[in-house]
Structures are given as structure tokens and as C-alpha cells.
């Protein structure tokens, strides 16, 4: 699907008091890129998909491209699938909807991190990806979509 198709069908920025965030599934031959948050204690933090907050007036596509580049240094060349969404409350108690997409990147490396402690290329069918249950459901949907 072309990048502009998503901009025609999805909202910009915050809508109806719900903040929008985007997450990118970057697949390298059956492995997905997961970012590791800094750890300050004995409990290993969960991993996350690259992404960004959709700023007011910004398109979903623009936020997705910007977020991947800012967090990983990788350049998005195509958006392939809208995989799914989930909602949660931000630390400030505001509702957030996170939209997830499979994206193509110019090259899967080198990954250059800006705000994360590390990254892994994890098998999409792995048992312990160390992600939240919501992200695990998105990855399960992705696996069923792409690797039936």
C-alpha cells in the first residue's frame, strides 16, 4: 500500500481527546527489531517497537517515518500493512491509541539508537520477546498475516 493511502484514511494528531502513537514492525527475514529501554533496577524492562507520538497536525505516515528515523536511524521506504491497534492510559492518565504498521526500510542497518539502551533482532515466532501483552498480540497478528 502506498504511503499516501494511510494519510487519507487515518486521523492527524490527537482526535477526540485520544492521543495517537505509531509503532513500526521492521522485519529482517523473520526477525523483528525491538528496542530496549534503559534499566535502572533488577527487573528487566520490556522491549518496544520503534515509533513516535503523532504530533498535532502531523500525519500518521509522517510520524511513523519520523519516529523510525529518530529512534533507529533507519529510513522508511514503504508502509506495507496496518497490523492493528491497542489503547492504553499514558502515565498522565490520558487515553492513547497506538497504531501499528509493517514498514520497509532502505536497509536494516546499521541501527543507530538515540534514546534506547540497546536493540535486538528477535525471531517473530520467539517464545520470550520480553514485550508487553499488547505488543505481543500485535506481533502475533503480524506473524499470522505474513507467515501463515
Percent of the chain predicted with pLDDT > 70: 89
Judging by beta carbons within 10 Å of its beta carbon (0-12, 13-18, 19+), is residue 43 exposed, middle or buried? exposed
Q: Could you list the residue range(s) of the whole structural domain that residue 41 is in?
A: 3-146
Nearest to 96 by CA among 36, 10, 4, 16: 16
Does this model's pTM top 0.85? Answer: yes
| Domain total of the chain | 1
At 25, which CATH number? 3.90.79.10
Q: What is the pLDDT of residue 14?
A: 54
Whole-number mean pLDDT of the chain? Answer: 87
Amino acid at each position: 500500500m502506498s504511503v499516501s493511502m494511510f494519510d487519507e484514511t487515518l486521523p492527524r494528531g490527537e482526535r477526540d481527546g485520544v492521543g495517537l502513537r505509531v509503532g513500526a514492525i521492521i522485519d529482517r527475514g523473520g526477525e523483528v527489531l525491538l528496542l530496549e529501554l534503559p534499566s535502572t533496577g533488577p527487573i528487566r524492562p520490556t522491549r518496544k517497537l520503534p515509533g513516535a507520538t503523532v504530533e498535532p497536525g502531523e500525519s500518521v505516515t509522517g510520524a511513523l517515518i519520523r519516529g523510525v528515523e529518530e529512534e533507529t536511524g533507519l529510513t522508511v521506504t514503504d508502509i506495507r500493512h496496518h497490523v492493528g491497534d491497542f489503547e492504553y492510559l499514558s502515565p498522565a492518565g490520558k487515553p492513547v491509541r497506538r497504531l501499528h504498521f509493517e514498514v520497509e526500510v532502505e536497509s536494516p542497518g546499521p541501527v543507530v539508537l538515540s534514546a534506547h539502551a540497546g536493540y535486538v533482532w528477535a525471531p517473530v515466532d520467539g517464545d520470550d520477546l520480553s514485550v508487553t501483552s499488547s505488543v505481543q498480540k500485535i506481533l502475533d497478528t503480524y506473524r499470522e498475516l505474513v507467515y501463515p
